[in-house]
Every structure is written in C-alpha cells, then in structure tokens.
Structure 1
Amino acid sequence: MEDVAREAGVSGQTVSRVVNARGYVGAATRERVEEAMQRLGYRPNSAARALRSGRFRTIGVVMFSFSSYGNQRTLDAIAVRASELGYALTLIPVQSSARETVAGAFRRLEEHAVDGVIIVIEAHQLDEADVEIPQGLPVVFVDSNRGGEHPFVDTDQAQGARLATEHLLDLGHETVWHVTGPAQSYSAERRREAWQATLEARGRAVPEVIPGDWSADSGYEAGLRLREDRQVTAVFAANDQMAIGLLRAFREAGRDVPGDVSIVGFDGLPDAAQLWPPLTTVQQHPERVGALAVDALLAELDGGSRVDTPLVGTELVVRESTGAPRRD
C-alpha cells in the first residue's frame, strides 16, 4: 500500500479508503490510485484486511428457491448492492427444510467466514426446521414472518393482493376467484389472506381457492377447472406465470379475455405486456427488497442494533386482460 501511495502521489490513508471502499475519495484521486494499483499489480490481502478490521467483507446468502422470478431478482439486487459497497457474496442453496439441512447451511457459512447472513426464504421452512441462528451472527430475513429479534425486509404482499381484488370488484364483478401459490409459501399465504379479507370487507362470496405451484402449468390446470363454470368472470392469480396458464386454458375453451373473464397476475414480469391480451398485474420491486436487505445487514454490522425497514410497496398495472363483465 505504501508503494501504491508513492506511485499515485497520495497518502496511505487515501489508498486504504479506496481499497476498503470506506470514506470519501474524489473521483480523480480514486482513478489515480486504482491505476497505480493496476500498474504495480497490487491486490488487497483479504486475510490481512480481516485481521485488521475484524471484517471479511463477505455476506452469506441462504436461499431456498431459485425458480421464482422474485427470488431471482432479489438475489441479483443483493449481489449488485453488496458489490457497490465492496462486499462479496457466498451463496448457500438449501433444497430441504429438514433441520440438519438448514443447520448444515449455517455451518458452511461459518466455515466461509462471513460477516452476516441474508436469508431469502420462500416458505415457513426455516420456522419449521426450528434452527437456532449462530450466536452473534447478524441476520436479515427476506420474505419471512420470522421477525422477532432479527430485522426482515419484504414486499407488501397484502397491499398487492388487495389492489388486484379491488380492481376486479370495482369493474363490476360479483366476486373474484383465486389461484394460489404453494401452500408452504409465505408470499402465497399473505396474498390469499388479503384476497379473502377484501372480498369479506365488500360483503362478497369467497369462492374455494384453486391451488397452484407458481408454474404456468399449474395455472393451466386451474384454468381447466374454472373455464367450465360460467359464473367465473374474474380470476386473481398469485403470480404472472400462473396467469399465463389461465390465459391459455380460457382461450382454448373459446372464452374471451376480458370479454368473458378478467385475469390479474402478480409480479410484473417484463414480458407480461407482450402477452395477448397484455396482462394486468401487480408490480412488485424485488430490486428494492434486495438492496434494503443489504443496507439493513450492514447497519447491524456497523451499529450492532436492529434496523427496521418498511414493507416495499406495489403498484397495479392495468392492461387489456381486465374489463367489466358482460351483462346478458
């Protein structure tokens, strides 16, 4: 670092700030230091930095599912935000909720020497596994009802489901059918609860839910069940993929969308606007969730205290898959 400082014509403290991504350094000075590092072949010694600072500058991420759009976007946002702040990621996938599997993930994280952990869960699985968090390890939960002594960050699932259901009722539909996500999913449960509460608050009948698993195939199967019932004029699918399956099933049966039945999804897939008809959907913001999770974890590391974050809001994006019901 002394060699780099001499080469760049700056102080050792300035080089340290650039290397550790801490403190203000002007853009021109930072560029001069980075060019000197490149010319001299300087690479920071992570072990030495950890001994000196007490930080490994690595964040662990435990994730139960990589298949959902929201989790993919959240992980991407975590990686981008961590990189901006000079942190690397250690990713530990967990395929089972068995206690030994989840406990093994924490053991692996301890072996990898991380400063803290972000747990991105798709379900109640961590609660069911009843695994104790290693003492002294800062943790932030994403998409969880774990709460308690640890901060959590999440989309406002209930707000999004309420917006979708109210939109269909305001168009004049008598009630709204619902295709749910997996039974063990926290997100799916919150969306279902808000759908039901909205119908009850309006004094409307609450139809039996049709189970799904987030996939377009399960949405298609749900559509095969719903399309034969002419009383079904409005459906809220718990994600856009299942809404895509519904569109196909109703179209095959000759039922027009939105003339005969209106469909709303949830997620805000980029391709939703390119479907026919373009899909009305609830836009969530997993990129904000991921960035907030990193910020909350680093705030815990810096201050040693819990940081509560607000739920990340959603918006309803109205397109051509929804309309007023036909009056025969």
Structure 2
Amino acid sequence: MDADHFEVSGDGKRVLLWTDGRLKVVPSDRRASGDDDSDTNITVDLDRVRQFVDPAAEWRQMFDENGRIMRDNFWRPDMSGVDWAGVLDRYRPVLDRLATHDDLVDLLWEVHGELGTSHAYVIPRGGYGDGARQGLLGADISRHEDGSWRVDRILPAETSDPDARSPLAAPGVAVRVGDAIVAVAGQPVDPVTGPAPLLVGTAGKPVELTVSPSGGGEPRHAVVVPVADEEPLRYHAWVADRRAYVLERSGGRLGYIHVPDMQAPGWAQIHRDLRVEVLREGLIVDVRENRGGHTSQLVVEKLARRIVGWDLPRGMRAESYPRDAPRGRSWRSPTSSPAPTATS
C-alpha cells in the first residue's frame, strides 16, 4: 500500500496512513488486508468528524506557529539582522481586528515582508478556492461625477500571449474609452458599486453589456467574454510603457526587455522580445519584480553571445551570426543592468 504520509501510534501497534485522499489505520506488525472493511485495514470516515472552532483563537495560534516556523527554518539564523520577536509583537495586536481568514493571510504576508526575502509564501488551505470566478473586462473603469461608470483605459491585447486577451478590444465589441457601462446582462449598474458585482461568475462566458457612447446617442449592446485574470494584460501593458520610456529617453538607441521570472514563462518572454530589441545599439535587461526560478544561467548565456560573423544574403537584410546576439561591445549582468527611473 502506497502512502503519502504516515504516523505511528503511541503504543507502536498501528500506523495511520494518508493515501489517495483517505485516512487509514493498519497494523504495524503484519500486512494489511486488501479488504477496506477488515480489522487490519480501517478507513476513517472523515465526513463524520465534527469540529467546533473559535476562529479568533485559531488565527492567534496560526500567527504564533508561523512565527516559530520562520524563526526555526529561515535561511539565516540571525534573521538577516531583523528583530523577529519584535516584528511579531508589533503585528500581533492586528489579530484582534481580523474578520476573515483572508485577513489573516494578508497579515502574514505583511509579516513575512519585514524580512525582505524571497520564497516566503502564505497559501490558504485548499489554495484560493474554486468559487464563481469574477469576470474582468481588461480595462480601467471608474465612477465619474455624474454617477456613471466609464471606461478610462482599455488594455491592448498581446497576440503573442494567448492569456493576454482583451475583452473590450475584441473584434465587433467596439467599446471605446469614455463610454459608460449602464447595464450588465440587462441588470442596471449600481451607481455606487459599479459593474463588478454583476460580472461575478461571468469569466469565460459571453455576457451582454449595455453601453452609452461618450459622444451621446442611444445606448447599444455589446457581447463580451470577460477574463478571470487581468495580470497577463496588465503585465504586457507595463512592459510596453517601460519600452516606450526607454526608446524616448535614448532616442531609439536602446532596446528594452523585461524578464518576469527564471522559469518557462520568463524564458518565453525573452525570446518573444529579444529578436527585435537586440537590433538596437544597446539593450536594457530589467529584472525588477522577477519571481525567480532556475533559468538564470540560460539567460546569462543568451545575453553573453558575441557576434562572430554576418549572413549577407543578396537583396536582403544582413543577419548576425549567431542570431539574437547583443550589438553593444559590452554588457552588464541582468542583476545590475540599468533600468528606467520611472517605475509606476
């Protein structure tokens, strides 16, 4: 019998196994029967377990346990010079103000942030849930003085990334900046809460918006398919803004790429942008907000390439050999490469 986890009973006579999502009790001195109903192979029915908890007391215990685990396992015994006990004492009063488990998770993230380290996560039990997904329109929408909720910005789609789909920029939707969203699926938009509550559960599903054009005229209807996650859209928009900044400040002489992580997505992002950006006189490699990973050596090898020759096809543009090699005479490592001063 394979087991994911096990514990031996205090008297050593039985073993508690967690296997295939089930809790089992088997003897420690002989082979367990293959029959789930036998005395030597007991399945514990967890559905019958009833537990009454005091959430506030449970959160206090979790806070203290988190502090102990970090204290005992942090990569530096001196906690990088941080007064860890003092940090816990400073944040502990906030426990009395928590209303939900999500509040506790947010608090623990803040506590971990005091260490200024990476790879320190707080993940709720069961992940972040499988509830109804909030539909997002890939746009900045705000309440205006007249009480209407208007589109202030539509994030452009990134065709090279299938996850960066912009609902309001899809063919046939034709919603424009300044337009007001007055109804979702026939339900009027509340002037206080806006369209977001009406978009709950619509991610990945067609939904009808009633839009009032900014220039006046009759409201019209548009069917959109909201996304569950705007992060890819907003990330690519952020990169485009930084690239435009670099081009403007350098007079078009410097290219710009951002490396979001040292994993497969970041490796793909480098190859998505490098072939164009490397053609300029210099290249800025921005690793701010990089999430880490294991491809950093590949990134360094890629950027350390040197041009050893040129392919000169007749009637066509010359290409360097190897391709994607930086044009500059020298380069700095990604961890110290220059970056634009604007970070917003």
Into which bin does the TM-score normalised by the smaller protein fall? Answer: under 0.3
TM-score for both structures, normalised by structure 1: 0.25
Which has a greater percent of strand?
2
Larger RCO of the pair (alpha carbons < 8 Å, separation 6+): 1
